[in-house]
Amino acid sequence: MRGLDVLFHNLDEYEYSKIPDSEKATAEDEAHKPQTLGELKATYHVKGNLFELFPLALLLLVAGFGVIMPIANNNALLIPACSIPMAIPFFVYLWSIISTRKDELKVFENGFTYQTRKELVSCLWDEIEDYSTVRRSTDISGIKKENGPWISLASNMQGIDDLRPHLRTLVKWTGPEE
């Protein structure tokens, strides 16, 4: 076992011992956990934004520049070589906008569901194991369920603030390493 693991384990035990027994979960509490999502509170969709079209326009300008340059130099054979590499970022960004525009987040009393174009994922509040944020920001970009899969959220998804009170990072102690 590494030294930091021992220190963190001892710190967790110390902090756990400071919690009054009346606030600790019992086996009875575990048996009464909600098993269903409950009543629907709100439904959210991806927010359409004109500011996300600005980078798209800039990428289209760069791709157009890749087509115009060979034509201006009277060398039409270079159009594919110049325009395709410049058009790839445009199509990647366009696909990221199109693929997430119909995502839907439904918040319930005991959890949430997230509908993408591929699948519907439901998650109870107790099943949240971890979450990820956008780099150098507090915006949530994904949630990890207890059984392992990550739920990736669209960048302009509304209602993410309704998820924030239920997010927590759990450190699970698996015992000493051999």
Residue 60's H or E segment, with its range, is helix 53-72
Instruction: Tell me which fold the domain 36-47+102-166 belongs to.
Output: PH-domain like (2.30.29)
C-alpha–C-alpha distance, residues 132 and 81, integer Å: 39
Give me the count of residues in the chain: 178
pLDDT digits (tens, 9 = 90+) for 115-132: 988 889 888 888 888 888
The answer, as to whether pTM is greater than 0.75, is: no
Domains of the chain, residue spans: 36-47+102-166, 50-99
C-beta atoms surrounding 151 within 10 Å: 19
pLDDT digits (tens, 9 = 90+) for 26-78: 777 666 677 788 899 999 988 877 787 888 889 888 888 887 888 888 887 78
CA atoms within 13 A on the CB side of 47: 10
Q: What is the DSSP string of 64-85?
A: HHHHHHHHHTT-GGGHHHHHHH
